[in-house]
């Protein structure tokens, strides 16, 4: 089976959390799917804020590039929190959307994230499982060590991939896709993500981001049946530059 790898160089612009979203760097594109490098201010999908979103910008791009009249189809396969950067995947056909939705549901997509934390984890690598419950009013996820009403099981694996004088770089593989899962579970083990005030970080990041990125997606193409590996470059900020030579 052929494997296709994509890892272009970044052209980063600092996020500013206004209501404008520019077309991001394209990491992969064919007739069935498109993956882009989300900045840590972009909305994955339109919401009640009324700010422009990535899906609308990608639709405009496709309409221009392929001279498509009328409404352009673009299916939202998964989402990234607004202050998170990295790889995000969309479907360009209903066939691809249906198959990708099933692949995400059945954990056939390998999702690798990178997180920068101040505190060292209890162990250099491990797998952690909790039960999580979303509070809709607070837009926050609470973590429990046992099942409670309306909670969902959440599991991730991590390893310490790098360290600096003040911070640790964690490589995280997500085994389930719960709301704010990485943010909440890392905070629960005493390792809140840098800049993530909602989950216990002491200070915010100047650009409004949190130091969490979706580094890589690995999956079998929903139509071509080739293995696809899509990797996002590190954001161009001082804290990420510290770890730029880390093998992750």
Chain segment 181-190, per-residue pLDDT in tens: 999 999 999 9
CB 228 within 8 A of CB 89: no
Tell me the pairing of strands 212-220 and 85-91: parallel
What integer pLDDT is reported at residue 21 of this predicted model?
Answer: 57
pLDDT of 24 higher than 90: no
38: exposed, middle or buried (C-beta count within 10 Å: 0-12, 13-18, 19+)?
Answer: buried
Distance CA 5, CA 204 (A): 34
How far is Cα 211 from Cα 235, in angstroms, rounded to an integer? 9
pLDDT, one tens digit per residue, over 97-148 is 999 999 999 999 999 999 999 999 999 999 999 999 999 999 999 999 999 9
The predicted structure's pLDDT at residue 10: 34
CA-nearest of 81, 119, 116, 96 to 28 is 96
Q: Is 217 helix (H, G, I), strand (E, B) or coil?
A: strand
Task: Give me the domains of the chain, ranges plus CATH numbers.
Answer: 3-241 (3.30.2350.10)
pLDDT at 22: 67
Phi, psi dihedrals of residue 209, rounded to the nearest 5°: -80, 170
Are 33 and 54 in contact by the 8 Å Cβ rule? The answer is: no
Give start and end residues of each alpha helix (H) in the chain. 54-66, 94-105, 181-188, 238-241
1 pLDDT higher than 50 = no
Check residues 20 and 114 and name the one with the higher pLDDT: 114
Q: Give the pLDDT confidence score for residue 52 in this predicted structure.
A: 85
Q: For the segment 28-77, what is each residue's pLDDT rounded down to a tens digit?
A: 999 999 999 999 989 988 776 677 899 999 999 999 999 988 899 999 99
Q: 76 and 58 in contact (C-beta within 8 Å)?
A: no
CA 30 – CA 62 distance, rounded (Å) = 11
3-class secondary structure, 117: strand
Q: pTM value?
A: 0.89
Farthest-apart Cα atoms in the chain, separation: 55
% of residues, the chain, pLDDT over 90: 81
The per-residue pLDDT for 20 is 54
- Which segment of 9-18, 64-73, 197-206 scores lowest on mean pLDDT? 9-18
Q: What would the two tokens of residue 213 be?
A: 């990125």
């Amino acid at each position: 089976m052929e494997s296709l790898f994509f890892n272009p160089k970044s052209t980063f612009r600092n996020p500013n959390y206004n209501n404008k979203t520019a077309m991001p760097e394209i990491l992969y594109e064919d007739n069935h799917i498109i993956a882009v490098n989300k900045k840590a201010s972009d909305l994955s999908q339109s919401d009640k804020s009324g700010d422009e979103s990535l899906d609308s910008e990608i639709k405009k791009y496709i309409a221009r590039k392929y001279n498509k009249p009328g409404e352009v189809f673009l299916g939202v396969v998964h989402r990234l929190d607004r202050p998170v950067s990295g790889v995000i995947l969309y479907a360009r056909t209903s066939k691809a959307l249906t198959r990708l939705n099933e692949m995400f549901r059945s954990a056939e997509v390998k999702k690798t994230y990178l997180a920068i934390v101040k505190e060292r984890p209890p162990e250099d690598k491990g797998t952690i499982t909790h039960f999580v419950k979303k509070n809709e009013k607070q837009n926050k996820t609470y973590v429990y060590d046992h099942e409670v009403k309306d909670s969902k099981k959440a599991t991730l694996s991590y390893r310490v991939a790098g360290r600096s004088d003040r911070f640790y770089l964690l490589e995280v593989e997500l085994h389930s896709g719960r709301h704010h899962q990485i943010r909440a579970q890392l905070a629960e083990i005493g390792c809140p993500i840098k800049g993530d005030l909602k989950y216990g970080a002491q200070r915010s990041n100047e650009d409004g981001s949190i130091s969490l990125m979706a580094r890589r997606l690995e999956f079998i193409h929903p139509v071509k049946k080739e293995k696809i590996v899509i990797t996002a470059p590190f954001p161009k900020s001082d804290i990420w530059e510290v770890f730029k030579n880390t093998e992750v």
